[in-house]
Chain A
Amino acid sequence: MLGIASRYFAGRIAVAAAAAIILGIVTGLDETGHVVMFGTIVLGTAAAAFALLTALALSLGDNDSIDRERSHSYPATPAYWPVMSAFGLGLLMVGLTTDGFIAILGLATIITASVEWTVSAWADRLSKDQVANATERDRLIAPFEIPLYGALSIAIPVLLISRVFLAASRNNASWIALGLSSLVLAFAFVLYAKPEIRRAIVATALVAAGAGLIVAGITSAAIGERDFHPHEVHQDEDIEHENDSEATDYEEHSQALNPARIVVR
């Protein structure tokens, strides 16, 4: 006996095919032929798509009731991969309109999240023991996760801090570097002196520092790098452009005064 899905899709085939035929025959290829062509192709393809779904329903036996009580459902472990995928998609969209490098970062994020999500989905259905599932998942993916996230945990802070340094003035960048390294040293000293400190406090401090770093890095990137003025080099180049012979004299004179000075040609 035909199941619900088979009958439903078979009806859809009939409707779509009839609509395509009527549209093609009744209206004909007159001056609005291109509109008819469009409609006929779309309706014909819809009939073909419903035929595919009907064939699937028939071949997989949709007349058998399939776990409608959800008695065979597996508990899924909460995961961040959907959020990571959405973030990657956002990065990709921003990158496609601004900078190719950001688009590549977005694509890499989406691919990484997809792989992680797939492996998590696979592991969740191994058994109803979530601990055993997590162990099996780690066995497969941890050799890739640890080096990847280890490298990212170094590269991303370095990138963000470099944006801050490049946006600040030369002196301020030095002070910021001193301040940050002093903070890290003080935090490490507190951890050493008070090993019994609650993990929640440490985690909160680290998350706050990470969030601050992200905000500072993005803000600094939006502000842009400070202006760099290599005055001496430009002066030499200007003189060289004005008069070659004069520049030669200047170069010789400069070298006589300061032999270590570099002249850029």
Chain B
Amino acid sequence: MADNTPTLVSGEPQRPRAQFVATGFAIAAAAMMIAGALAMYMARRHASGIHPGSEWLNGLKVPNPQFDYALLTLYTSIVTAHWALWASRRRDTAHAWTAIATTIVLGLGFVNMVIYSLNRMELEIGSGEYPNLAFATTGLSLALVVVGLIYLGLMGLRSVGGSVGQHGSTPLGSAVFFWDFVAVAWTATWYAVYVVK
């Protein structure tokens, strides 16, 4: 007797946005790193004397305009990064690649501006607690920016290879997600180290 049981096609099991979730875990880990560094900075500043901060900078002057422009550059790069993701989801590859390239250029410009500002401050490692901690926290944030740039570049390469569209843009979306976190991390670092000081 023939088996007349209808067979249903179940379809492929979904593994939705595994890279996005992994990036979320990486962000959580990096957030704890940044929090640890900034907490150490603020704790040492608090313990520096009866009037915290009075002798903390030891005569150093923070070039505020340069740091402000660096922050604006980073925020502009967030806009271009989301522009790349928006275009990639709509398979508008020309706009996506232009936006990725613009984001990377703005990111490199941001790194350049921050390093210029540090040189202008004439920070010297070993010359005091503030310079040491400022270098450590700023260096950690800059390292995250560089990691974010490399991540964006690599995922941009995947979009060049055809990974576009609503589903195919997940890798680029993950990189943009990390880039958003990088901007938040830098904002916290900038506010703690160069505004509150």
**Which among B21, B32, B154 is the interface contact of A42 at CB below 8 angstroms?**
B32
In the complex, B44 has a CB within 8 A of chain A: yes
Within 8 Å CB of A34, what residues of B? 42-44, 46-47
- Is A46 a contact of B32 with CB atoms below 8 Å? yes
Q: Which residues of B contact A (CB under 8 A)?
A: 12-17, 20-21, 24-25, 27-28, 31-32, 34-36, 38-40, 42-44, 46-47, 150, 154-155, 157-158, 160-161, 163, 171
CB of A150 to closest CB in B, whole Å = 21
Contacts of A192 in B (CB 8 A): none
Can you list 12 A-B pairs, Cβ within 8 angstroms, ordered by A? A41-B38, A45-B35, A46-B32, A48-B31, A52-B24, A53-B28, A60-B17, A64-B14, A66-B16, A67-B13, A71-B13, A111-B150
**Chain A contacts of B25 at CB under 8 A?**
53
Given contacts A53-B24, A67-B15, A72-B12, contact A118 B154 (CB under 8 A): yes
Given A37-B43, A37-B46, A60-B21: A45 and B31 within 8 A (CB)? Answer: yes
**Centre residue among B34, B40, B43, B155 by max chain A CB count within 10 A:** B43
Name B33's closest neighbour in chain A (CB-CB): A45
Residues of A within 8 A of B24 (CB): 52-53, 56
Known: A45-B39, A66-B13. 12 other contacts (CB 8 A): A34-B44, A41-B42, A45-B32, A49-B31, A52-B24, A53-B28, A72-B12, A115-B157, A118-B155, A118-B157, A119-B161, A122-B163
Query: By the criterion of a CB under 8 Å from any partner CB, how many residues of chain A are at the interface?
Result: 32
Name A residues whose Cβ lies closer than 8 Å to a Cβ of B.
33-35, 37-39, 41-42, 44-46, 48-50, 52-53, 56, 60-61, 64, 66-67, 69, 71-72, 111, 114-115, 118-119, 122, 140
A60 proximity list for chain B (CB < 8 A): 16-17, 20-21
Q: A38-B40, A52-B24 are in contact. Are A33 and B46 (CB under 8 A)?
A: yes
A-B contact count (CB 8 A): 85
- In the complex, the chain A residue whose C-beta lies closest to that of B146 is A107
